[in-house]
Structure 1
């Protein structure tokens, strides 16, 4: 009963008609630093897909092998290590865990640039996944303890601008470096920047008191591992949000890990053109979508939780025709024009899922719950999406040697429908709950 009371209090505060509390300057400084680390996190993660063509040429790897490195191999470490890391961070200093994680993934990124074979590169990428497992969940919880209810959707939306900015910078930076020098330099330089950020992080971000903005006492309970695990997987709202997000990420990661290779090999773009035009599409489109989704969530959740489900339903439904146009387009300028739609609309699910999970669980369970959310959605999306697209491209190569990736990407359209169905199921639960409360 105490758990439900805490959750209800936070939800009530978020939806009240009273003026919302204003975060202080310190909260925004912390958010900016965590955002910068997330940019590095995602830049490290995406650099391989951006430099796929020169890596293929140097290390002699197939589309299927690239899919395994960027998908299943990476996700096996990234997803499952996140659970014990989340539990540890819930019981210890979250800032220290984040700093150590940043140091590990940055050192592993340097190792990627020094790799001489497929095996060495694959091992370095798995180590990157091991480090990045401790990056996002602690940050979600730290932000939630710096920003009050009703402001968290916007704060988490700003934080989640890290992936689009990281991806855009990776395309521009990685593409320019590879075109001018060598793909290895991009990994080495980025890794060194991350090592500096890991050292500076604890000087700027101080560990906040858990639940201070949710009315929790001075000494909140420490989260227990198995009860938190059971709580997450037994709650339909949390699981449907995670599964819907996973289905969406199956599309976004499956597409994202092969977009540069697709544009270069089948649409005729050069690496220099990718570094400018594709970077602009990703940076502007994705950033706008994630920021707008955070604002939408904060505005509408003051009256109803239904927006957590309906925002992804509407955005993904609108994205489908643009996605089909992108894959079909005969020239890269037309393909990029269509791609603006999915890059804006595909990511409304992210702010919705993250904000929902952080609001629905107790303060001392937030890091591990965030890690469990990432486990489900990243194992499905990050682990299986690129792996599937790479394998499908190899499969279609015999019958469609000049457009095997196009055929593989077309097969992602039904996954959009699966994601929409899962979020509609979540919406149905919210409607029933609100109807009971109204009665």
Structure 2
């Protein structure tokens, strides 16, 4: 999972770097059109060239009962405190995770005097290098927690990551010098993306095998619609309400409350996992 999630960091980095250059030279509307084109092309290529792999054995193939529906799966999630709190925690964390990188380039332009291409390059490098590093290290970090304290302690990894993300996000938003801002952004990218692998491992460990695909799809829908849809919006609304030269600082700082809130849900997931029979065997992040 950790290796898989490095792709989001690389994709975000490329969009920030190219977006800054294209927006500065051709306008922001052109940047949006260019950003959408690769996805459409890739979708067509996948349809035409990729075939469903032949599986030697499907999970649950000996079970002739129908696979659980979306409603049945979500009922199971709501009835399982560990999975429920992890599900909600991932959604809340995505609000902060999306709010910072989306506004990072504009933030550097307003507060540090960068040009748009410079800001896009710096933000892109930060996400591409340190975000990818965090995604890659998140899996081994979760596995290390499981080996040391057992699978019941797995929620502790994203809990700590969310708290560190809140602190580093505030340092990034409120830092007075470029060095402090850069340090805050680097740490934020590492820990905010590092939480993903162990957080998703909680979901796939806590549900039945035939529910895993639906659960992961559902939480992805939440992170995309709520996280990436609402997180940047909250930053913008708060910034507009505050006004002034430092309004974006306040906007970014405001969404950090969601990261701390997410940490509380993972704390609740940790406490629930200690009483859950399902979190006895090993899990891999």
Counterpart of 2:257?
Answer: 414
Structure 1 unaligned residues grouped into runs of 5+: 1-155
Alignment CA distance shift 1:413-1:175 (3 Å): closer
Select the residue among 245, 249, 252 that pairs with 2:90: 245
Partner SS for 2:195: helix
Alignment CA distance shift 1:432-1:405 (3 Å): same
CA contact (8 A) 1:267 1:330 kept: no
Please state if 1:234 is matched with 2:79: yes
Please state if 1:343 is matched with 2:189: yes
Distance 1:178 1:296 in 2: 38
Matched positions, count? 280
Distance 2:214 2:279 in 1: 30
Please state if 1:254 is matched with 2:86: no
Bigger RCO of structures 1 and 2 (CA < 8 A, at least 6 apart): 2
Counterpart of 2:247?
Answer: 404
1:196 Cα shift? 2.4
Select the residue among 168, 173, 196 that pairs with 2:18: 173
Alignment CA distance shift 1:236-1:299 (3 Å): same
Counterpart of 1:354?
Answer: 200
Please state if 1:382 is matched with 2:228: yes
Please state if 1:315 is matched with 2:161: yes
Select the residue among 250, 262, 274 that pairs with 1:431: 274
Please state if 1:189 is matched with 2:69: no
Alignment CA distance shift 1:245-1:386 (3 Å): same
Alignment CA distance shift 1:255-1:193 (3 Å): closer
Distance 2:222 2:55 in 1: 25
TM (normalized to structure 2)? 0.84
Distance 1:225 1:199 in 2: 28
Alignment CA distance shift 1:396-1:189 (3 Å): closer
Distance 1:297 1:204 in 2: 35
Alignment deviations for residues 364-409 of structure 1 (CA, whole Å, 9 cap, x no partner): 4333212222344445433432232222111111xxx111111222
Select the residue among 320, 324, 334 that pairs with 2:170: 324
1:195 Cα shift? 2.6
1:259 Cα shift? 2.0
Structure showing greater radius of gyration is 1
Select the residue among 137, 151, 157 that pairs with 1:292: 137
Alignment CA distance shift 1:370-1:333 (3 Å): same
1:341 Cα shift? 0.6
Counterpart of 2:111?
Answer: 266
Please state if 1:366 is matched with 2:212: yes
1:354 Cα shift? 2.1
CA contact (8 A) 1:268 1:332 kept: no
CA contact (8 A) 1:323 1:342 kept: yes
